[in-house]
Amino acid sequence: MFGFGSKAAEQRKSEAAAEARVKRAHSVWDYADLSKRTSLLNNIIDTQDDKIFLAYVHAPWSQIPFNDQMKLTMEVMKLDGNEKLSRRAGEIVAGIFSAETFHSLFGEKPLASNWTSNDALGVWHSLGRFCFLISIGSIKGFQKHEVDFVIKTGQASMMSVWRMSKPVLFSFERFNGDRLASVFVTYKSLSSAEMYNTFFSFFVSEILGDHVSFTPEDVSASGIERILKGQVADLDPLLLNKVSSAFTQLQVQIRDYVSQFWDKT
């Protein structure tokens, strides 16, 4: 009648929620490997004594002091929220660089000999992954462990959405293993709109099976110099604009989305 019952119910609900959070943190701690325990502890304790730190890492939950248990609980809550955010970022990338988008853009384009649509799709997904890596790497104020966490979680989400067949996955892994390092170096060297356009013409050529050399020198070279070196890239202006626009817009979207909602408390 006077609202006492309602207040008591709300208090019980709040206490139950708090208890559930502690149980969640306890469970995470019990099942976490040493690297994850170390990562959690790095964010809640300040000690220069390696022996004390290692003792914490190996200690069961019951031996963690109560105050640190509460800090760990808050850290796990933050981790859960940031994990959902990272997964969502990966899903956004996978949605833009999807097989459906690939077929709408490249379905009518001729492929090089001995190059299949599975090969092409693998490189297309690689461009999406590259966009994700560039986006997260450009976020200001992020610690290395935060960047690593977003990349690891986001990529897992990306791969789950794409569900690549073995031939597509083979192409994806081959490109990431053989070409990604030079792609990174070349991308960082871009300093003009012309170089930027050339970079994406190279990527479109790679998707279509006409392999080029991703180097800063080749991207900055004139059209005639590239032709003389055998670096003939696809120059379909409409396709280049669609691919580069998708990359650029997604890069800004992912960077702003993660930096805005990331919980650093």
Compute CA distances 53 → 33, 114, 170, whole Å: 15, 56, 42
The model's pLDDT over 219-262, given as tens digits with 9 standing for 90+, comes to 887 655 555 556 555 568 899 999 999 999 999 999 999 988 88
Indicate the Cα dihedral angle 54, 60, 66, 69, nearest 10°: 80
CA-CA distance, 1 to 61, in Å (whole number)? 43
CA-CA distance, 185 to 218, in Å (whole number)? 12
Q: Residue 75 carries which side chain, given as an amino acid letter?
A: E
Q: Where are the beta strands (DSSP E) in the chain?
A: none
3-state DSSP assignment of residue 2: coil
The model's pLDDT over 33-78, given as tens digits with 9 standing for 90+, comes to 888 888 888 878 877 788 889 998 999 999 988 888 888 887 777 7
Tell me the domain boundaries of the chain: 4-76, 78-261
CA-derived radius of gyration, the chain: 24
**Burial of 44 (C-beta count, 10 Å sphere; 0-12/13-18/19+):** middle
